[in-house]
Amino acid sequence: MENNKEIRSALISVYNKEYLERVVKLLNELGITIYSTGGTFNHINQLGIEATPVESLTSYPSILGGRVKTLHPKVFGGILARRFNTEDAGDMSKYEIPSIDLVIVDLYPFEDTVKAGVSHDEIIENIDIGGISLIRAAAKNYNDVLVVPSAYYFEELIQLLESKRGATDLADRKRFAVLAYELTSHYDTMIFEYIKADEPVRTFKQSIPHPRVLRYGENPHQEGTYYGKLDEVFEQIHGKAISYNNLVDIDAAIGLISEFEEPTFVVMKHTNACGVASRPKLVDAWKDALAGDPVSAFGGVLICNSTVDEETANEIDKIFFEVILAPAYEDGALEKLRTKKNRIILVSKSFDFGKNQFKSLLNGVIEQSKDEHMENPNDWTNTTTEKPDEQEAEDLVFANKIVKHFKSNAIALAKNKQLVAGGIGQTSRVDALKQAITKAKTFEFDLKGAVMASDAFFPFSDSVELANKEGINAVIQPGGSKRDQESIDYCNEHSMRMVFTGFRHFKH
C-alpha cells in the first residue's frame, strides 16, 4: 500500500462558498483537475478558474430540483476505487471512470435551519444527501482519497497542500477521515433528533461538538473537557480561564436564580447556595445574601438577575470570589470589578437549556425531565388550623425555591426573603435541620419568625418539634408520609402553620 499520494483530481460540492477562492486557486496552481456541481461550479467559473461540471462526467443533469446531482457510479466509483486493486482498476477502465483523489464538501446547514424556526418543508430540504454520501465514501477510502468535510477545515487543507505541494500521506488522509465521520455522525444525530420529535424512540443519542479542554477536572489529577458552546450561555469579559468546578457551580447558580423575578443575589459554593436574598435594591440583596454565610462565600460563585451598579460592585469587591454572572454591568461597576486580573466576569444571556438532563452512571446513562415545577400558594394544602400570614407565605415561597436546589436531604430556613441557613446533603432530615440551626446561630440570626422548607416529607414529627423550639412557626413540605398526622397534630397543638405542596424536590 502506497503511503504518499499525489492529488491529481478533486471534486468540490460546497454550500458555503465564502472561503473557497483560496482553495480553488491553489488547486489550479498545482495543476489539479477540478470537478464541481451546480452553484459551486458557477462560483468557480466566476473566479476565472477552469472546472469540469459533474454533469459532463455522469451524462446526467441535476434533477429533482437539485436533489440528485452526484449520486452516480462515475462519481462514487472514482472515489471508492481501490487504486492497487486490479479488479477495481479493470472496472474503472471498462466504464471510463476517472479517479477522484480529493473530495471537498460543505453540507447544507441543517442544524442552523432548524434553529431559524423555518417551515418543516424547508428544514427537510436542508437534509443533505449527496454531500454526506460523498463524505462517507471518501472517508471510507482514506487509503487513497483525502476528504475535507466542511469549510471549517479549508485553512488546514491549504496549509497541507502548500507544505506538501499537492501530496498527502496516510496519516493526513486518516486524520481528515476521522474529522469526516465526526461530522457525519453529528449531522445524522441532529436529523434524528428533529425527525424523532415526540416519537417514543428510547435511544440515547447526543452529539456535542466544540470541545473546550479545561485546566483539569474536579481535582488537579483529573483531566477535564467541556463540550458545548459556552458563548451561547454567557460572554466572558474578564478574568482567567473558567475551570471545571466553576462550570458546575455556574450551572447550579443559573438554575437557582431562574426561580426569581425580583432583584436577587445568590452566593453559590460547591453547587449549593450559601447566601440568597431578594430586595428592591440590588446592593441590599447582595449584603443580605453575604450575611447568610460570609465564611462560605469566600471563593464562591456570585450570580444576580439585575444590572450590577457601581454601589453594588464596591461592596462585592470587598471579598474574594472567583466568578460573577449578571445580565449587565454599569461602566463604573466593571471598572471596579476588573481591578482583580483573575476575577471571572460573565454577562449572562437568555438561553433555552432544554427539558431533559442526563449523566453517566455505571455502564450507561440515566436521563430524566428537569424539575421545573415550582409551587405557589394556590397549589398548597393548608393542613393546620392556622394559615400562614402574608409575610410567612412570601417567605415560604422563597425558602421552597431554595430548598429545591439544595442537595438532599435538605432544609432551608428563611426570614424576610433572606436565606438564614441551610442544612444540606444530610443522611436524615432532622440532621439537616440541626445543621441549619447551628449555622444560623453561628452567624447570630434570630430564628423567631423564620420559616422552614423541606425538600421531602417529614417521616416523623421530630423536625417540626425542633423547629418550634427555635421559634420557627411556619413550615412548607411536600407531605406524603404515613405519619404526616403526627406532624400536623403537633403543629396544631403549638399554633404552628404548615402547608403541603404535594411535590417532592429530591436532588442528588
Query: Which cell numbers hold the place of 412?
Result: 432551608
Query: Is the CB of residue 225 less than 8 Å from the CB of residue 213?
Result: yes
Q: How far apart are CA 159 and CA 177, in angstroms?
A: 17
Please, which residues have CB within 8 angstroms of residue 446's CB and are 6 or more apart in sequence? 471
Query: What letter does residue 63 receive in the DSSP assignment?
Result: B
What secondary structure, in 3-state letters, does 448-464 show? CCCEEEECCCCCCCHHH
State yes or no: is 270 an active-site residue. Answer: yes
- Using alpha carbons, select from 388, 417, 418, 424 the residue that is nearest to residue 403: 424
DSSP characters for 273-295?
EEEEEE-SSHHHHHHHHHHT-TT
Query: What letter does residue 329 receive in the DSSP assignment?
Result: B
Q: How far apart are CA 272 and CA 501, in angstroms?
A: 22
Please, which residues have CB within 8 angstroms of residue 171's CB and are 6 or more apart in sequence? none
Query: Which cell numbers hold the place of 317?
Result: 469587591
Q: How far apart are CA 131 and CA 62, in angstroms?
A: 14
Edge-to-edge order in the sheet of strand 419-423: 381-382, 497-500, 474-477, 451-454, 411-414, 419-423
DSSP characters for 346-396?
EEE------SEEEEEETTEEEEEE-------GGG-EE-SSS---HHHHHHH
State yes or no: is 140 an active-site residue. Answer: yes
Strand 211-213 to 225-227 pairing: antiparallel
CA angle 452, 455, 461 (to 5 degrees): 60
481: Cα within 13 Å, side-chain hemisphere: 19
> In which element (H, E) is residue 45 found?
helix 38-46
Strand 146-148 to 102-106 pairing: parallel
Catalytic residue among 140, 340, 434, 494: 140
Q: How far apart are CA 403 and CA 108, in angstroms?
A: 46
Helix axes of 73-80 and 130-140: crossing angle, nearest 10 degrees: 30
Amino acid identity at 4 = N
Catalytic residue among 25, 174, 270, 494: 270
Q: Please identify every residue annotated as catalytic.
A: 140, 270
